[in-house]
Amino acid sequence: MDAPLEFDVLVVGSGASGLAAAVSADRAGARVGLVAKDAVQSCNSAKAQGGIQAAFGEDDSPEQHAEDVWKSSHETADRKLVEVLTGEAPSAIHWLEELGVEFTRENGGYRLARCGGASRKRLLQVGDRTGHAITKAMREWVDGSSVQTFPKSPLIELERRENGWRAVCGEHVIDAGTVVLAAGGRCFRIAAERGELTTNHPGATGEVTQIAVDLGAELRDYDALQYHPNGGAWPAPMQGYSIPETTRAYGAVLLNADREEFTDSLGPRDEVSQAIVDEVAAGRGVETPDGRPAVYLDTTQIAEDDANVSLPYMLRRYRAGGIDPLDEPILTYPVLHYQNGGLVIDEHSETTLEGLYACGEIAGGTHGRNRMMGNSLLECTVFGRRAGKAAAEKAA
C-alpha cells in the first residue's frame, strides 16, 4: 500500500457545501484535500435552479427571515442554527459575489422573488441556473487554489486515530486532522427503492451518513423527506424535473381538472404538496398521457418579461419538448426532492463527534422537518464556510 496522503482538513463531497468548506479551510491556511464520489461537477447543488434566500428587501430583516424558517419548519428547527443561517445570509451573498457569482439585478438592487412560506420577497437568483452559477464560481476558485481534488474517490471507510482521522477514499488512504462531511442527501436511493421519480442526482445515496452514524454520530429528523410540490409530470423527458418554485413566485397557480384553484400556491412546501396529493385522491386531478397523476400549473399567468429573466432554462426545456408554458398550463405532481434532517451539528458545523464536521443536506436542524425553498443553497454557503474555518482551526 502507498503511504497515506496527509491533509489538515479532508472535505468529503464537491457540492456547494463541500466547495464552500474547502474555500474557507484553504483561506484559513489549512492543507485541504477534497474527495468526490464521481466527477467533481456531479452533485445536486449544480442542478438547483430557483435561487437563494437572503434578507435584502427594504421591508425585510434577518429576524423576519428566521421567523419564516421557524414557521415553515412547524417550529421544529434548531433556533440557534436558524439565527446563524439568516443572520449570515447577506454576508454569504457578498462572499459568493466576491468569488464571481453575478446575481440577477434590477432597478439598482437584486431581483427578489417571494418563495413558498416567505412573508417577504427574499429570493436572489441567477436566472434559473443559480446552483450552476454558485458551484461553477466556487469550483473555479478551488481549481486555482492549493486544494487537492480527488474525483471518483468515494469515502468508503472512516476511522478515528489518535491525532485525527484515517479515511479510505476509492484507491486513496488519507490521514487528516479533521474531516468535513458534505456528501449530500439520500433521495436518489430512496426513490429507487420505492420506484418513484426524484429530482436528485444518482450520487445522492446517503452512505456517508451511515458511516458517521456507525462511528456514533447523532441524527435528527432523518425520516422527514421533502416532496417538491412541482415535479414535471409531462412530457416524459420532464418527469423528475423540478419546475422552479419561481414559476409560482411570478404568478403561476395550481389548478385542478375543473381549472379551479385549490390551495395557496405560495404556501409551505409540505402543505402545497399534500394539497396536490389530496386533490388527486379526491378525483379532481388530471392524468398524463402515460397514466400518471397530475394537476395543472397555470404558467400562462407569468408575465413574459419575468419568464425571460427568471425562467429561461425552464422555458427552453419545455419548448424543446413541444410545450410552451406561456401558452398552455403544464402538468405537475410532487416528486421526492430533499432530506430535511441529518447529522446533528452545532453552530460551528461540528457533529456530536469531535473533529468531525457536517454541512449542507447531510446535516440536520436548520430546516427542522420542512425546508423552505432557497434555504438549502444558503445553508451550504453559511455552514460550509463555518465548517471549513472551524475544521482548519481545530486541525491546527
Ligand X SMILES: Cc1cc2nc3c(=O)[nH]c(=O)nc-3n(C[C@H](O)[C@H](O)[C@H](O)COP(=O)(O)OP(=O)(O)OC[C@H]3O[C@@H](n4cnc5c(N)ncnc54)[C@H](O)[C@@H]3O)c2cc1C
Residue 37 CB, shortest distance to ligand X, in Å, is 4
Are 28 and 388 a contacting pair, CB within 8 Å?
yes
How far is 17 from 114, CA to CA, in rounded Å? Answer: 24
Q: With binding defined as CB under 6 A, does residue 376 bind ligand X?
A: yes
Helix, strand, coil shares, percent, the chain, to 5: 35, 25, 40
Interface positions, 32-71, toward ligand X (CB under 6 A): 35-38, 42-45, 47-52
Q: With binding defined as CB under 6 A, does residue 131 bind ligand X?
A: yes
DSSP letter for 73, please. T
How far is 384 from 9, CA to CA, in rounded Å? Answer: 13
How far is 352 from 112, CA to CA, in rounded Å? Answer: 37
Name which of 17 and 299 has its Cβ closer to ligand X: 17
Are 98 and 134 a contacting pair, CB within 8 Å?
no
Helix pair 79-87, 376-395: axis angle to 10 deg: 100
Residue 109 CB, shortest distance to ligand X, in Å, is 20
**Among 88-96, 247-255, 302-310, 373-381, the segment contacting ligand X (CB under 6 A):** 373-381
Collapsing DSSP states into helix, strand and coil, what is residue 188?
helix
Q: With binding defined as CB under 6 A, does residue 15 bind ligand X?
A: yes
Name which of 72 and 242 has its Cβ closer to ligand X: 242
User: Exposed/middle/buried for 76, CB within 10 Å: 0-12, 13-18, 19+?
Assistant: middle
Q: With binding defined as CB under 6 A, does residue 182 bind ligand X?
A: yes
How far is 205 from 42, CA to CA, in rounded Å? Answer: 13
Name which of 93 and 286 has its Cβ closer to ligand X: 93
Q: Give how far the C-alpha of residue 351 lies from the chain's centroid of Cα atoms, to the nearest Å.
A: 19
Name which of 262 and 383 has its Cβ closer to ligand X: 383
Residue from 24, 242, 332, 370 touching ligand X (CB under 6 A): that is 242
Residue 205 CB, shortest distance to ligand X, in Å, is 6
Residue 53 CB, shortest distance to ligand X, in Å, is 7
Which positions from 313 to 352 touch ligand X by CB under 6 A, shown as an x/- string?
-------------------------x--------------
**Among 157-165, 314-322, 350-358, 376-384, the segment contacting ligand X (CB under 6 A):** 376-384
Determine the size of the site formed for ligand X (CB under 6 A).
Answer: 45
Q: Give how far the C-alpha of residue 360 lies from the chain's centroid of Cα atoms, to the nearest Å.
A: 7
Among candidate residues 385, 373, 366, the one with its CA nearest the CA of residue 78: 366
Name which of 184 and 368 has its Cβ closer to ligand X: 184
- Tell me the residue nearest to ligand X as measured from the CB: 15
Which positions from 192 to 221 touch ligand X by CB under 6 A, shown as an x/- string?
-------xx--xx--xx-------------
Residue 296 CB, shortest distance to ligand X, in Å, is 21
How far is 294 from 117, CA to CA, in rounded Å? Answer: 22
Give phi and psi for 384, each to the nearest 5.
-65, -45
How far is 290 from 294, CA to CA, in rounded Å? Answer: 11
Q: Give how far the C-alpha of residue 221 lies from the chain's centroid of Cα atoms, to the nearest Å.
A: 17
Q: With binding defined as CB under 6 A, does residue 16 bind ligand X?
A: yes
Among candidate residues 155, 145, 164, 156, the one with its CA nearest the CA of residue 23: 145
269 is catalytic: yes
Catalytic option among 31, 114, 269, 385: 269
**Among 6-14, 93-101, 216-224, 269-277, the segment contacting ligand X (CB under 6 A):** 6-14
Collapsing DSSP states into helix, strand and coil, what is residue 253?
strand
- Catalytic residue IDs: 269
Contact footprint for ligand X (CB under 6 A): 12-18, 35-38, 42-45, 47-52, 130-131, 154-155, 182-184, 199-200, 203-204, 207-208, 242, 338, 360-362, 373-377, 380
